[in-house]
């Protein structure tokens, strides 16, 4: 299946995006190994996570309706946020991905989700820390990713919210709900 996905991606996404995807695939597999999770599932989730990343707003909205994805005010105004859930639908439809954990990880990799499992947490963090992302603020997240998975996701949420506040862009409620869930799981004062 990997070669089939790569052939599709080479046509659908720019080279830089493909390098990111391959970096997420590798990083997710490394994290899965570190945490004793299924390496193949993590790698598949990484490879499939951005299938819809380069779709236009119109394509994302159309595919979201076709896949029965619930739209809210934030996703209607910012359709790029739908690429994760649309990507999960495409992974199932185009590449026969049926594993519910892999599909959930793909769907959750952008906004998170309260009570998401460790595979979803790994993909969420791997998307931030893969090697082509060079921002200095990711150094702490790279270290934390191999020390405490939930604290790493919490830091990822914090970085997302901070970026969106600086850019004066809407914050999706699911990101806040994910952050609040993680805070309820972590000791006071963490991240």
pLDDT of residue 148: 95
> 90 Cβ partners below 8 Å, 6+ apart?
51, 52, 63
Looking at the predicted structure, is the pLDDT value of residue 144 above 50? yes
Q: What is this structure's pTM?
A: 0.94
Give 81-122 pLDDT, tens digit per residue: 999 999 999 999 999 999 999 999 999 999 999 999 999 999
Mean pLDDT rounded to a whole number for the chain = 95
Interval 165-190 mean pLDDT: 86
CB 154 within 8 A of CB 179: yes
Looking at the predicted structure, is the pLDDT value of residue 189 above 90? no
CA distances from 190 to 15, 143, 154 (A): 37, 15, 9
- CATH, domain range 2-135: 1.10.3210.10
Looking at the predicted structure, is the pLDDT value of residue 163 above 80? yes
Give 10-52 pLDDT, tens digit per residue: 999 999 999 999 999 999 999 999 999 999 999 999 999 999 9
pLDDT of residue 185: 82
HSE-CB at 49 with a 13 A cutoff on CA atoms is 39
Question: DSSP string covering 126-166, please?
Answer: HHHHSTT---TTHHHHHHHTTT-HHHHHHHHHHHHHHHHHH
């Amino acid at each position: 299946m990997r070669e089939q996905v790569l052939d599709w991606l080479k046509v659908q996404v720019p080279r830089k995006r493909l390098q990111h995807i391959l970096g997420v695939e590798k990083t997710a597999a490394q994290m899965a190994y570190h945490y004793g999770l299924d390496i193949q599932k993590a790698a598949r989730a990484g490879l499939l996570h951005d299938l819809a990343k380069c779709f236009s707003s119109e394509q994302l909205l159309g595919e979201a309706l076709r896949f029965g994805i619930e739209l809210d005010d934030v996703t209607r105004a910012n359709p790029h946020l739908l690429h994760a859930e649309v990507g999960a639908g495409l992974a199932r439809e185009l590449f026969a991905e049926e594993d519910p954990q892999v599909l959930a990880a793909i769907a959750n990799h952008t906004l998170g989700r309260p009570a998401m499992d460790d595979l979803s947490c790994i993909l969420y963090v791997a998307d931030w820390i893969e090697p082509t992302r060079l921002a200095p603020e990711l150094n702490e997240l790279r270290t934390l990713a191999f020390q405490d998975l939930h604290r790493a996701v919490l830091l990822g949420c914090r970085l997302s919210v901070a970026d969106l506040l600086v850019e004066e862009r809407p914050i999706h409620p699911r990101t806040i709900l994910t952050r609040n869930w993680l805070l309820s799981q972590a000791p006071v004062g963490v991240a």
